[in-house]
Amino acid sequence: SKSDHKGIFRFYNDELYQSIRSKLDAEEELRYAIAKKQFFMVYQPRVDTRTGDIRGFEALVRWQHPTRGIVPPAQFIELAESTGSIVPLGSLVMDCVFRQIAAWQNMGETPVPISLNISPRQLDAGGVDQQIKDLMKRHKVSADLIEIELTESVMMSEVPAVIDQITAIRQMGIKLHLDDFGTGYSSLSRLQEIEMQVIKIDRAFVSRLGTSSQADVLVKTIVLMAKELDMSIIAEGVETIAQLETLQHLDCDEAQGYLIAKPVTAPEARKLLQQRRIF
Ligand code: C2E
Ligand code: CA
Ligand code: CA
Ligand code: CA
């Protein structure tokens, strides 16, 4: 009957309404959280595969939610990217990291480079190079102490303004990491054109090490290629001793992952820094 149809129609409308409503709520909440600076950074070390010496830290953002506790980026980065909130959030992240480096310098710690993850949307919005330049000056942080992690999709960009920012950042003497290598669509020839200094092999490849000869060959080939291109190479997501030993055997420069250390708070990172090495 007519009223049944109406009922069904209303039901679907309510569902749609609820899903839009909850997305708007989440968006609003994230915007509020950014305004209130409810974020902090954790730092995950990467080490020399052979000696265990700390070669650097990767800065990773966390949301200190007032009721939900610590929220990992998997639960908000996508929303931040799709709504553009990643731009102010990214500024917050950069600010926090530069301030942290300056603080460690002032405490007299021998610093190691800290790498920052930059989203494509931040580069689309523009001015990332200038922002970094200003922060370096304000906090007296030299170019060798900051590194930038970009994914393949960013590196394959044809947008002149994006390429210009990446070029400017590189010309400041800041090292660029090609993050999540192997998961994107970069062609090997493009790898030669874009001057990146570091390749990070994605965890997907590292976790398959030792499970098949193909998996080992793949990583071996990536390591050899990186060496040919004069790039250094980091394996991410190293979780077992067997994986670490295979990486040593394959002459992979650096390793990062739960086996070595989980991401830690700034005070814990400082302690690691004083230790200088992890194994
Ligand atoms: P990513 O850049 O690939 O970072 C590596 C992620 O793998 C981190 O997750 C890290 O905690 C996790 N990880 C490290 N070692 C292991 C391991 O041995 N096993 C496993 N299973 N995982 C490991 P996290 O911190 O949750 O970050 C997830 C992603 O969120 C990052 O992936 C990055 O794409 C994004 N992200 C994090 N912080 C930022 C940020 O400040 N800005 C931007 N734009 N993106 C960020
Ligand atoms: Ca990364
Ligand atoms: Ca990665
Ligand atoms: Ca990733």
- Cα–Cα dist 75/79, whole Å: 8
- Cα–Cα dist 77/89, whole Å: 9
- Residue 80: nearest ligand to its CA? 1
Q: What is the mean pLDDT, run by run of 10 residues, along the chain of 279 residues? A: 57 75 89 98 98 98 96 97 97 98 96 96 97 98 97 85 94 95 74 82 95 92 92 97 97 98 98 94
Tokens of 212: 């098949």
Q: Which residues contact 92 (CB under 8 A, 6 or more apart)?
A: 34, 37, 39
- Cα–Cα dist 102/139, whole Å: 6
Tokens of 178: 């090609």
DSSP, collapsed to helix, strand or coil, labels residue 118 as: coil
Nearest CA to ligand 1 atom 12: 237
Structure letter (DSSP) for residue 277: B
Q: Residue 1 has what pLDDT?
A: 47
- ipTM, two decimals, is 0.98
Nearest in space to 270 (alpha carbons), one of 128, 101, 150, 140: 101
Ligand 1 pocket residues where CB is under 6 Å: 44, 60-61, 72-74, 77, 90, 93, 117-119, 179-180, 203, 237-239, 257-258, 263
Q: Do 31 and 25 form a contact (C-beta atoms < 8 A)?
A: no
DSSP, collapsed to helix, strand or coil, labels residue 257 as: coil
Q: Residue 19 has what pLDDT?
A: 83
**Ligand 3 centre from 181 Cα, in Å?**
8
